[in-house]
Amino acid sequence: MGTGAADFSPLLETKYKYKLDQNARRSSSILINETYLVDCGPHVAGSFQIQQIDAAKVTDLLVTHFHSDHYNRDSIAWIAAQKEVPLKIWHHAEAQPEPIENCEFCPMEIGLEYAIGDLKVKALEANHAEWPVHYDIESDGKKLFYGC
């Protein structure tokens, strides 16, 4: 959905607003099996629209930390509005995010493994601000480490 950092290009508001391009990286995020989203910055809604991906299929959002390039309330609310059931938002257990309509917040303890749909997810300690976590994700015998 994006590979950039918080210093994303202002061209995302003009020239590259409606297309993906290597010259204007969107804030970092991945979508796993069209169902599990990791991080949801300000460009995620646009990425869904550009790639013609149905945001209503997203069941769970894993938040690495609460900086606005990883956790954008407007983008999250946009996804949640597409859904008939609440979007589950998984996050560091010590964080206390403000409510978002049609979202269910799911605190995760560091070091514990959680069954999230068909994924096994473990939140790992990270060293950043705003309640950071890395994720160890497993599905069908395949493993992915997601760290920012």
Q: Which pLDDT score is estimated for 46?
A: 87
Cα–Cα distance measured from residue 145 to residue 50, given in angstroms and rounded to the nearest whole number: 26
Mean pLDDT, range 37-42, rounded to an integer: 94
Residue 141 region, left (φ>0) first, then alpha (ψ -120 to 50), else beta? left
pLDDT digits (tens, 9 = 90+) for 67-109: 998 999 999 999 999 999 999 999 999 999 999 999 999 999 9
Decide: 143 and 136 in contact? Cβ < 8 Å: yes
The model's pTM is: 0.91
What burial class does residue 92 get, using C-beta atoms within 10 Å of its C-beta: 0-12 exposed, 13-18 middle, 19+ buried?
A: buried
How many Cα atoms occupy the beta-carbon half-sphere of 87 within 13 Å?
29
Cα–Cα distance measured from residue 57 to residue 98, given in angstroms and rounded to the nearest whole number: 23
How many Cα atoms occupy the beta-carbon half-sphere of 138 within 13 Å?
7
Cα–Cα distance measured from residue 56 to residue 34, given in angstroms and rounded to the nearest whole number: 9
Q: Report the alpha-carbon angle 41-21-87, nearest 5.
A: 25
> Dihedral sign, CA of 116, 108, 142, 72?
positive
Residue 6 confidence class, pLDDT cut points 50, 70, 90:
low
pLDDT > 90 in the chain, percent:
66
Decide: 23 and 59 in contact? Cβ < 8 Å: no
Q: Which pLDDT score is estimated for 37?
A: 97
Q: Which pLDDT score is estimated for 148?
A: 77
**Largest interatomic CA distance in the chain:** 43
